[in-house]
Amino acid sequence: MKKKLWKIFVLLLLLGITAACQPKTASLSAKAAWARPGSAGGNSAAYMILQNSLDSPDALVSASSDSADSVEIHMSSMDANGTMMMRPAGPVELPAQSSVELKPGGLHIMLIGLKDDLNTGGTITVTLQFEKADPLTLEIPIQESAP
């Protein structure tokens, strides 16, 4: 009987160690994503809240979509004369256990040279590339304003 209990104890111990070594469900994710409508040949933008529930920082380094000739991470800002300007942004830092909002008038995903019209009610597929984490592919609804 003692031998059987000992085997059960060892088995439970091994199961506990195996469970402790499994990857956490924490990850990088996006919520409240949306993209502006746009016409073929023109441009549009996508916005979202990026969430890093990991215990280490990461960075959004690029994005891609089959619906546009090119996709860039941009930052909109006001210059000294009060004119709104837009410029490419470097990697977007995603601190551990935090979120970063991509929104109109700030950081956003710029969709350049749309291949087809982006109509309200439709969706666009965008893939986000990170410095460390696996790529994240999103089906983003097209709408006039934030959800």
* CB contact set of 104 (below 8 Å; sequence gap of 6+): 45, 47, 76, 146
Q: Place 9 in a pLDDT band, splitting at 50, 70 and 90.
A: low
pLDDT at 23: 45
How many separate domains does the chain show?
1
Residue 9 lies in a domain: no
Side-chain half-sphere CA neighbours of 65 within 13 A: 28
Residue 71 lies in a domain: yes
Residue 42 lies in a domain: yes
pTM: 0.80
Residue 85 lies in a domain: yes
Residue 11 lies in a domain: no
Q: What angle do CA 90, 93, 95 make, to 5 degrees?
A: 175
Residue 112 lies in a domain: yes
**Is 70 exceeded by the pLDDT of residue 17?**
no
- State mean pLDDT over 93-113: 97
Structural domain span for residue 73: 28-141
From residue 63, alpha-carbon distances to 25, 46, 79, 80, 81 in Å are 23, 11, 26, 30, 31
Residue 53 lies in a domain: yes
pLDDT at 141: 98
What CATH number has the domain bearing residue 52?
A: 2.60.40.1890
- Identify the residue whose tokens are 């199961």: 15
pLDDT at 8: 56
Q: Place 116 in a pLDDT band, splitting at 50, 70 and 90.
A: very high
pLDDT at 6: 53
- The more confident residue out of 13 and 28 is 28
Backbone angles phi, psi at 18, to 5 degrees: -60, -45
Residue 45 lies in a domain: yes
pLDDT at 15: 47
pLDDT (tens digit, 9 = 90+) per residue, 41-82? 999 999 999 999 999 999 999 999 999 999 999 999 888 888
